[in-house]
Amino acid sequence: MDTFMKLFTKFILLALPLILLSAFCLKEPMAYMSVEYPMWAEEKDAVRNLSFEKEPETVIIGDSRAKSSLIPEYLSHEEKVYNIAIGGATPVEMYHAAGNYLKSHEAPENAVLIFAPYHFCDMDNWDQTLYYNYLSPGEILAVEADAIKYGEDKMIYNGWIADLLSFRLRLPNKYLDQVYTARFVKNRAANEEKYRELRQALGYTHFGEEEMNAELNYETHHPEFDLSPMVDAYYIKLLDSLRDAGVNIIIEQAPVNEASGQEITEEFKKGYREYMDSMESRYPGSFVEKEIPVYDNSFFGDNNHLNRRGAEKFSKEIGDKHSGIF
């Protein structure tokens, strides 16, 4: 018995640093996470916890192109618009975001949805969702069950259960490198400032900062529009939830740069246009933009995202296009 207790004590002493590190990672993500984390944290607070002085009349839903393309203050000077998009998100994350928003807030009058077409093709950023612990345990289990149902191999693979636990418990095998890079707390000030900037900008943030970009975007890597059955199912669930809440649905398309616009295949464009046609038929009365705008390369901060000038241009165009709601 004495031998067992000695071994047990040694085990606890050896494990204690790892336990303390995991506890730190759970409690202080703003201290060590990269600068992208505040975007997820601010959006999560906005849809679940934030109390608005006046509930937004319009919410912007989507991925990084939605986050960086539509500036709420250019659409309304009365803080009637809030951007709850997230960089890297697919309709899977946004289905839960919209659901949590509707539970915590009055239903908005309008929802403007923008997803990059390639985000309908696969679940390429699921690790990011897990890394930032965006979804609740129950939400994750529901999504993983659907991943099994649809055979989504980027989510169901050898070791996926261990990964889920590692991310949820913030274990060192997933977070130690970032903690080391940040020297534990070096990122806190920058992350807290970024969080405040997002809140002040009503959820908007930029990604690329270049004055011009002529590199090819993600859509150019898809010869055809290879729709993911799982993403499709969640997009329909997202739109159904908005429609059932009485929200006016507006589906828009973010611009691509001129270089990419020339290289995206006609097969991809045709497949995506047909998919948008099906959404228009499924949701009569909703506005569905089917054509992808092409902007000059000078309006892009990187190969996928508008720079500030581009975002101002696009926001003004969307405001004029839907002047009846803005």
pLDDT at residue 51, as a whole number: 83
Please compute, for residue 250, the number of CA atoms within 13 A of its CA located in the half-sphere on the CB side: 19
Distance separating alpha carbons of residues 241 and 244, to the nearest angstrom: 5
Say how many C-beta atoms besides its own lie within 10 A of residue 278's C-beta.
Answer: 12
pLDDT number for residue 58: 98
Predicted confidence pLDDT, tens digits, the chain (326 residues)? 566 666 656 566 667 888 999 999 999 999 999 999 999 999 999 999 888 888 999 999 999 999 999 999 999 988 899 999 999 999 999 999 999 999 999 999 999 999 999 999 999 899 999 999 999 999 999 999 999 999 999 999 999 999 999 999 999 999 999 999 999 999 999 999 999 999 999 999 999 899 999 999 999 999 999 999 999 999 999 999 999 999 999 999 999 999 999 999 999 999 999 999 999 999 999 999 999 999 999 999 999 999 999 999 999 999 999 999 99
Query: How far is the CA of 272 from the CAs of 87, 145, 269, 295, in angstroms?
Result: 21, 27, 5, 19
Cβ neighbors of 289 (< 8 A, separation 6 or more) are 251, 252, 253, 276
Where along the chain do its domains lie? 2-321
pLDDT at 50 (0 to 100): 80
Write down the pLDDT at residue 11. 61
What pLDDT does residue 53 have? 84
Nearest CA to 160 out of 231, 233, 168 is that of: 168
What was the pLDDT predicted at 30? 98
Residues with Cβ < 8 Å from 24, sequence gap 6 or more? 31, 179, 184
Whether this prediction's pTM lies above 0.75 is answered by: yes
CATH topology of domain 2-321: Rossmann fold (3.40.50)
Q: What contacts 102, CB < 8 A, 6 or more positions away?
A: 241, 245
